Structure 1
Amino acid sequence: MLRRAQRRAAQAFAQALRPLGIEGRHYGVLLNLVKNGPLSQRRLIDLTCSDKSRMVRTVDDLEARGLAVRRPSPTDRRAYAVEITEEGRALFAEASLIADEVAARLLGRMDEDDQELLCTLLERFVVPSEN
């Protein structure tokens, strides 16, 4: 059921983002850059549960669109930090509104208490236990 729910949500989100010319993977990187500031590709891989080759392609896509840039890391000469651009911030703002609309549509058949319960249970599910 979790896989089916994830697939349904991903498909709905992908379809809604299509007019902006981005995919969920792009949105995930932009979200993390907005929340955390410039990040290494390694950190983005960890935060988005991606892999190296997919992250390179995603950041390449964002750079080609002018939504993000790679700059030398101020703390590690060997690494680059990915930074969101003003164009990226503007597109992210649009995409966030779309994300909210998609979430509201997907959760619309649940009352507010059920939505809250679902979020609570999913948070428990994805956070690793300390054991």
Structure 2
Amino acid sequence: MGQEASVPVPAAASGGPVSHAIFRLARLHRMFAGQLLRRIGLHPGQELVMMHLWELGPQRQTDLVRLLDSDAATMTRTVRRLEQAGFVRRRPSPTDKRASLIEPTAASHALRREVEQVWSRLEDLSTAGLTDDERTAALATLERLEHNLVQAAADQSLGTEAEG
């Protein structure tokens, strides 16, 4: 059942084998995502911005930051690169003169099918050899791990507010 790690686990990480496995998995997942996305002219993370724009329509950049749990500087760079590639454009917000809306272009809609294919391929690579039950269990475990960290972050922010 247990596969050997792709990277040796240093002794200092022996107290966190799950955390080290998450680190290794995330690194490999991002590497494969980068290879697949490069073929269609995107960098990792840009496809997530596009997915939200295709799904929700034009968004303020601050809303994209919140949706993707990103930071303003990273989102500014991402939107600028997508704009230079012709996949998004900015237009003034009709309700807030200080803000602009980021919207997908017609060129980006042609990209959508390719992004969907990349994500399907990434899913196939990541879950190769797993049964449907194993996929379901893996997803449930990953969601639980995410929930634990979201809860820890919320508890931590509540703790710092109480201290202040």
Q: Same fold (TM over 0.5)?
A: yes
Decide which of 104, 110, 118 is 1:98's aligned counterpart.
118
- Structure 1 residue 125: Cα displacement: 2.5
In structure 2, how many angstroms separate the alpha carbons of the residues matched to 1:86 and 1:93? 13
Q: CA RMSD in A?
A: 1.6
Gaps of 5+ in 2: 1-20, 156-164
- Structure 1 residue 74: Cα displacement: 2.3
- Structure 1 residue 126: Cα displacement: 2.1
Superposed counterparts of 1:74-85, under 5 Å: 74-85=94-105
What's the counterpart of residue 123 of structure 1? 143
Q: Deviations over 1:35-56 (max 9, x none)?
A: 2111111111112222111111
Amino acid at match of 1:33: L
What's the counterpart of residue 73 of structure 1? 93
What's the counterpart of residue 48 of structure 1? 68
Answering whether residue 22 of structure 2 is matched by residue 2 of structure 1, we say: yes
What's the counterpart of residue 88 of structure 1? 108
Larger relative contact order (CA 8 Å, sep ≥ 6): 1
- Structure 1 residue 92: Cα displacement: 2.3
What's the counterpart of residue 28 of structure 1? 48
In structure 2, how many angstroms separate the alpha carbons of the residues matched to 1:5 and 1:38? 33
Q: Deviations over 1:111-131 (max 9, x none)?
A: 111111111222233244497
Gaps of 5+ in 1: none
In structure 1, how many angstroms separate the alpha carbons of the residues matched to 2:51 and 2:127? 21
In structure 2, how many angstroms separate the alpha carbons of the residues matched to 1:67 and 1:34? 11
Amino acid at match of 1:107: T
In structure 1, how many angstroms separate the alpha carbons of the residues matched to 2:85 and 2:134? 39
In structure 2, how many angstroms separate the alpha carbons of the residues matched to 1:35 and 1:94? 16
What's the counterpart of residue 80 of structure 2? 60
Query: What is the TM-score when the length of structure 1 is the normalising length?
Result: 0.91
In structure 1, how many angstroms separate the alpha carbons of the residues matched to 2:42 and 2:104? 15
In structure 2, how many angstroms separate the alpha carbons of the residues matched to 1:39 and 1:91? 19
